Structures are given as C-alpha cells and as structure tokens.
Amino acid sequence: MQLHGLHVLVTGGASGLGAATAERLAGAGARVTIADLNEGAGEELAARIGGQFVRTDVTDPAQCAAAVTKAAAKGGLHVLVCCAGIVLAERILGRDGVHDPVRFKRVIEVNLIGTFHMMLYAAQMMSQNQPNSEGERGVIINTASIAAFEGQIGQVAYAASKAGVVGMTLPAARELARFGIRVMTIAPGIFDTAMMASLPAAARESLGAQVPFPSRLGRPAEYAALVQHIIENPMLNGEVIRLDGAIRMAPK
C-alpha cells in the first residue's frame, strides 16, 4: 500500500515508538489518528502532524471500537499500528512474596488483550474497504518484544504478554487473508524510549553496548521506518521481524 491518503490509527501514539510512527506516516501523506491515554501529549502531536486524537484505553472494547470508528469516519481505515503497552519487573518468588496476580493480569490485559481488541475492530472496518490493485484492504502491525523469545528474570508477565502477540500473528494473517488484510508483528530490542530516558547515562550506555551492531539503543525513528516498509511491501505477511541489532538477551 502507498501511504499517501491512507487512514492510519496508531495506539500508544502519544510517545515513544508510537509517536515516531505517527510522525513518519503523516510525513508520508497518511491521515493519522492517535489513540492514547495521554491527552496532553496526544493532542499536541496530533495538532503538529495534522492528525486527530482520541483518548483510548485499549483494555476497554467499547473505547477501542470508538477509536476505530473515529479513525475511519472520513474514508475508512487502512492501517492499524499497535504500540500501546506497559512494562513490569517482578519475580515469581520475590523478597516480599509471590508475584502479584493482579499486576500479572494487568500486563496481559493491556499488552495482549488490548492488541486483540484493536485488531478485532480494525479488521472489521478494513474488510469494508475497496481492495487496491494488489487486492489489499488493510495492514495491521502489532508490537511484541524480544522478551517474547528471551524473557529475562523478572519479566514473566511482560514476556508472556508479548509472546501472546507473537503467537497471534500467523493465525490472524491466515484468517484475514481472504479479506486482503495483512498482519505483521515487530519485536523491538532495546530502544531509546521514555522508559530508557529515566535511566542514568552510564546505564543507558551499558545497555547499548550489549547490542552487537550498531552498539547503541535503537531509535524510535528506526521502528517507524520499518512500519512504513511493511505497509508498502505487500509480500510481508504473517511474520515477526526482530528489530534488535542482533542482541540476544541474557538471563538477567
């Protein structure tokens, strides 16, 4: 799909990977809707890129459906990029007792079930589009993590949620193929996002040095560039792409 004139919805689009994606796709001529809980940052970015903002809690199916409806209101929905997510560091057996089941459930609800909610309503909307010359009606790009493959100690909840996103990719792509909707997942490594910005410079440098090449933290713009390529390359479907500089995470 060529981006110019397409209607795009980016969850978690107010910051980090989502914000970089929203900016890049808008710069390529797409009409971008940002879905996020952060109204201030979301509204500001939407105004700057000529898009629109909709406050969305991805754990609420009704809010997800409403975000899709708003994004599609003036010409359908062609692309969904799911970047909304949360992290948690907690051991199964920690110093203060066992892993909190409520916090485990929350991570699954946001990262995995929230992605499913968005995919569900976006696919329904995309199925109504007129196909392009390749027969495409839409593209769904989800965000996992290399933790899905090499979850570290203390990442049991986060790794489980991201492994679920990986596991949905192929069956979703197979199922939605008959509608001309592609499904892809990106599994980023260690990226320079707001969470990383809170760490001391020495810690950031140490993390970057663990990446074989380039030996640095990933840049959100590099994630956004891959999103654009996936949208524009119709043969990419049903696959998970690691975007990690060849790092393989150690146990801790």
**CA proximity to 139, closest of 220, 61, 64, 232:** 232
pLDDT number for residue 119: 98
Q: Given CA atoms 28, 6, 23, 177 in this order, what sign does their dihedral have? A: negative
Catalytic residues, by residue number, are 158
The pLDDT of residue 199 is 64
Q: In the sheet that 181-188 helps form, which strands lie side by side, from edge to edge?
A: 52-55, 31-36, 7-11, 79-82, 138-143, 181-188, 240-243
Confidence of residue 202 (pLDDT cuts 50, 70, 90): confident
User: What are the tens digits of pLDDT across the range 62-84?
Assistant: 999 999 999 999 999 999 999 99
**Ranges of each domain in the chain:** 7-243
Is residue 175's pLDDT more than 80? yes
Residue 200, pLDDT > 90, answer no
> Which residues does 223 contact at the CB level (< 8 Å), separation at least 6?
17, 20, 21, 186, 188, 191, 243
Percent of the chain with pLDDT over 90: 91
> Residue 198 has what pLDDT?
65
Site of tokens 């939605």: 176
Q: Which residues, in sequence order, are bridge partners of residue 218?
A: 191
Q: pLDDT at position 196, please?
A: 75
The DSSP line for 64-127 is HHHHHHHHHTTT---EEEE---------SEETTEE--HHHHHHHHIIIIIHHHHHHHHHHHHHT
Please give the CATH superfamily to which domain 7-243 belongs.
NAD(P)-binding Rossmann-like Domain (3.40.50.720)
Q: What is the pLDDT of residues 108-147, one digit of tens each?
A: 999 999 999 999 999 999 999 999 999 999 999 999 999 9
Which position has the higher pLDDT, 200 or 129? 129
Condensed to tens digits (0 to 9), the pLDDT of residues 136-174 reads 999 999 999 999 999 999 999 999 999 999 999 999 999
Structural contact between residues 152 and 252, judged by C-beta atoms closer than 8 angstroms: yes
Task: Please state, for a pLDDT cut of 70, what percent of the chain lies above it.
Answer: 98
